[in-house]
Structure 1
């Protein structure tokens, strides 16, 4: 399944962008697109919107469990699927999941660096976008398969 090559590529690109954010955005904010997009460094110790911030051990275990679930359930699903959306979606989910899991294991916090107007308090990273896009692709691919049955 050649789509799985996206996993290490995405993970590597995510690592590079997070490294750049740590090196260049510490203590500063860069705006673009008429201040609709802002780049600033945030170390998110919780999940989305700080969920489980005070329970880091539980959050790490949850992340490990979810990543293992993706390997055990979604990988076979992608291999068996004829829909490209499912194959690419699972690859994006794995690559993004690995990127954020790596941050949690290594630094106990996920590095986020991009926010959008009007809610600049919510920050994201490439891995987050990959997880979101992967979920959509898997869902659409499964719908496509269901229509062809």
Structure 2
């Protein structure tokens, strides 16, 4: 499962980089392309921006930190995946997704000192994000879910069997 998870991470990284390359070549910086709209209500658009920070542009300009942190997380994630390689598939896949998202954005930061973001969900005021961000968030949610599932299974297996009472007759 370890090798398959590394292949999954590689596939997700390539997907992220291809999507960013397409956005970079087809959508002018700052341009908004409406994708889903109902009447006057905008739902989803592609908006090509660059972000030198993290979510909501926090830590903007702190490239050294935003490069160092994902490197450390990815190294720790790979060691963790190897350690639990025979464990929960959901847990291993979720870590692979987090690694893929981290590496996808890391490539941009090293190459351009900023990340290409392009996905905008219009109904709420939420930062524009990218495929790598989706991998990180879904991976984190799946990881938490795998821990909850593991705890439930463990608590069920730790319960003693019902005590059988023998009646004296």
> SS at the partner of 1:79?
coil
For 1:53, the equivalent position in structure 2 comes to: 60
- Give every structure 1 segment of 4 or more consecutive aligned residues whose post-TM-superposition deviation is greater than 6 Å: none
Residue by residue, what CA displacement relative to the aligned partner does 1:34-72 show, whole Å, maximum 9, x if unpaired?
121110111110011111113222322223233233233
Q: What number of residue pairs does the alignment pair up?
A: 147
Whether 1:32 and 2:32 are equivalent positions in the alignment is no
For 1:127, the equivalent position in structure 2 comes to: 132
- Judged with a 3 Å threshold, the aligned counterparts in structure 2 of structure 1 residues 77 and 146 are, in CA distance, closer, same or farther, namely farther
Whether 1:5 and 2:10 are equivalent positions in the alignment is no
Q: CA deviation at 1:77?
A: 5.1
Cα contact 1:38–1:120 (8 A) shared by 2: no
> SS at the partner of 2:61?
coil
Q: Give the CA RMSD over aligned residues.
A: 1.7
Structure 1 residues not aligned, in runs of 5+: none
Q: Where in structure 2 are the equivalents of 1:1-149 lying within 5 Å?
A: 1=1, 2-27=4-29, 28-34=31-37, 35-72=42-79, 74-76=80-82, 78-81=84-87, 83-119=88-124, 122-149=127-154
Q: Which has the higher contact order (CA 8 A, sep 6+)?
A: 1
Cα contact 2:34–2:45 (8 A) shared by 1: yes
